Structure 1
Amino acid sequence: MDPKRIAENFEGKTIFITGSTGFLAKVLVEKIRRVQPNVKKLFLLIRASSDRSIEQRLDHEIVDTELFRVLRDKWGENFASIISSKVIPISCDISHENLGITSTELRDVMWREVDFIVNSAATTRFDERYDVALDINTFGAMHISNFAKKCSKLKLLLHISTGHILEKSLHMGETLEGAKASYLDIKAEKKLVEETKTTLQALNMIEKELTSTLKDLGIERLYTFLLLLLEMKAA
């Protein structure tokens, strides 16, 4: 598709981007603000850290970076006001229902206004704690999907994955042709994690040991899934 036509599709539209402090999301935000000045809003999902608010993370980790130098040079002293007029940080977490957005007013506004959702929130560590990986990469994707279903104007939900590439887009509720989901029960995996954590905590494990054990569990489950996939492929 012609890049100019893509930019035109964002005119007057509201876009919700998760994983906003990550590399891909930052590039996307800068690109949209540069090629489509008439975008309506950019809602950016940002989690507050122990030492920075979402506004501080927006400034320090996104708009104050070298990536936005072209726009800073272009807009000069108006840069901050132009950015803040369209870019809206949202304190939320995809590992929770409704993405952790506690304000019903804000949720209603997003459900009415959001036209596009780009989900790039993920943990990309291959030795991640299994509980963390499940909460973000599995249940996080489910929560994003559930949130998207409530967006009355939604035109596209784009999920960025390091694990799978589709040659064609899918409609909401559609699955891959011939796909079988019976090999993975995410509720059972969630129960396994919760029971494991309860057992480990009862042993008064220190945090370092708890983390190491949950990482080992993640690697063990990964090998199990890979073997199941190989068996399915061979069948």
Structure 2
Amino acid sequence: MSLENLGVTNIDLLNEMRRQMDIIVSSAAATKFDERYDVGFGINTHGAKHISMFVNECIKIKLLLHVSTAYVSGEKSGIILETPFTMGETLNGKNDLNIEEEKTMILERHRQLVIEKANEEAISSAMKDFGIQRANLHGWPNTYVFTKAMGEMLLLDGLRQDVPLVVLRPTIITSTYKEPFHGWTEGVKTMDGLIAVYGRGRASTFLGDPSKVLDMVELKCKVSSGLVLMSVVGNVEVGQ
């Protein structure tokens, strides 16, 4: 995702993909809330740009489905319309976000850390803090949702006008509905930690309002004839 042509260097294969692919589901992402800014930006933001560049070269393209997140809307309350972002839009109303400048600042911050001879652990910690800082500056709570929001902007700005686009903004994705089996969880992120400690018997309860709906998504993913089909199922009420 962080590489042009999605890292495909074989020209014959690349041209074949461009000739044959008609539906693309883009769901790859760095999902840690406090991911290193350079990593999150490379995958979630520039990754979306690379997807649009690739799609623009596909001859038979009929649909691009891009999986984002509901939390690109930040910490707003009440009914939130899923309107698309405009380039440079921010959640604090200043609308002074410049994605190319963010890229330049990431490179400069990393260069400074190398000059200071910081070790890899220190660089990782500093880049995580830098991501949170930049996200908060523009009104987002963390690096993940900030980089995903910028990814949406680049996607909408760079995609060919005749390509049908669906931006899906699910809430918290947890386990799979069916494949490879019901309940399969890939890694520990978002709410997975609570599920893991409950499943292991290390926690029997957690605080919650029984009148609220805990909005979680199980993924149902099936590969058929080279097409990835995804659907989301159900909300879960607290206590059930």
Deviations 1:12-64 (A, max 9, x none): xxxxxxxxxxxxxxxxxxxxxxxxxxxxxxxxxxxxxxxxxxxxxxxxxxxxx
TM-score by length of 2: 0.49
Partner of 2:29, secondary structure, is coil
- Counterpart residue identity of residue 84, structure 2: L
Residues 216-235 of structure 1: pairs in structure 2 closer than 5 A: 216-226=129-139
Q: Which runs of 5+ in 2 are unaligned?
A: 74-79, 89-94, 141-240
Q: Write the distance in 1 (CA, Å) between the matches of 2:81 and 2:48.
A: 19
Residues 136-175 of structure 1: pairs in structure 2 closer than 5 A: 136-162=43-69, 163-164=71-72
Q: Write the distance in 2 (CA, Å) between the matches of 1:97 and 1:108.
A: 14
- Higher mean alpha-carbon deviation, 179-188 vs 104-113, is at 179-188
Q: Which runs of 5+ in 1 are unaligned?
A: 1-93, 169-174, 228-235
| Structure with greater proportional strand content | 2
How far apart are 1:186 and its partner, in Å?
1.3
Q: Which residue of 1 aligns with 2:117?
A: 204
Deviations 1:75-112 (A, max 9, x none): xxxxxxxxxxxxxxxxxxx1011111100001100000
Q: Write the distance in 1 (CA, Å) between the matches of 2:35 and 2:127.
A: 8
1:215 paired with 2:128, answer yes
Q: Which residue of 1 aligns with 2:107?
A: 194
Percent of aligned pairs with the same amino acid: 43
Q: Write the distance in 2 (CA, Å) between the matches of 1:120 and 1:190.
A: 22
1:114 paired with 2:27, answer no
CA RMSD of aligned residues (A): 2.2
Partner of 1:219, secondary structure, is helix
Deviations 1:161-208 (A, max 9, x none): 12449988xxxxxx938x352532111111001111111001111100
Deviations 1:133-168 (A, max 9, x none): 100000000000110010010000000012449988
- Counterpart residue identity of residue 215, structure 1: K
Q: Write the distance in 2 (CA, Å) between the matches of 1:180 and 1:102.
A: 30
Q: Write the distance in 2 (CA, Å) between the matches of 1:144 and 1:98.
A: 8
Q: Which residue of 2 aligns with 1:133?
A: 40
| Structure with greater proportional helix content | 1
Q: Write the distance in 2 (CA, Å) between the matches of 1:133 and 1:224.
A: 17
Higher relative contact order (CA 8 A, sep 6+): 2
Decide whether aligned partners of structure 1 residues 180 and 112 sit closer, same or farther in structure 2, where only a CA change above 3 A counts: closer
How far apart are 1:226 and its partner, in Å?
0.5
TM-score by length of 1: 0.50
